[in-house]
Amino acid sequence: MDRVIYEPDARRKQPPHIELALRYAPNIKERNMPKFFEPDLGEARDSPFARDAGGKLIRRSYWLDMSDRTLVLAMTKGIGANLTNDQKKAHLADLRREHLIDQVCAQEILPPER
């Protein structure tokens, strides 16, 4: 039985962190990949969350020019307030600001079991 090794499609360039994940864990499923927020570009063409076909942020400098404090405020009370925790985590990881995840993502509090 031949073993199938995943080779990324040459036409569709993956972001570097995804290429590394696919190279070292070829059996990883697409559902385990970061799910970024995908804005409706028909309504908001200049959305700071917009990505190109390769998954790279188009307005990356918008985010990189923010201080950590400003980014936390933007993601909690501003334009990122309506994103899910998973989308916020993926976005912060893409910006290499993983150290802000605890400040940005709301903690889920589960009720005690009876």
Per-residue pLDDT of the chain (114 residues; tens, 9 = 90+): 455 455 555 555 666 666 666 565 555 444 455 577 777 666 767 788 888 878 788 888 999 999 999 999 999 999 888 888 888 988 898 899 999 998 998 777 777 887
- Does 38 map to a domain? yes
What is the number of domains present in the chain?
A: 1
> What global pTM score does this model have?
0.62
- Does 88 map to a domain? yes
- Does 1 map to a domain? no
- Does 114 map to a domain? no
Q: Which domain holds residue 87?
A: 16-104
Burial class (CB in 10 A: 0-12, 13-18, 19+), 90: middle
- Does 10 map to a domain? no
75 and 49 Cβ atoms separated by less than 8 Å: no
The residues, ordered by sequence, that sit 6+ positions from 102 with a Cβ below 8 Å of its Cβ are none
- Does 2 map to a domain? no
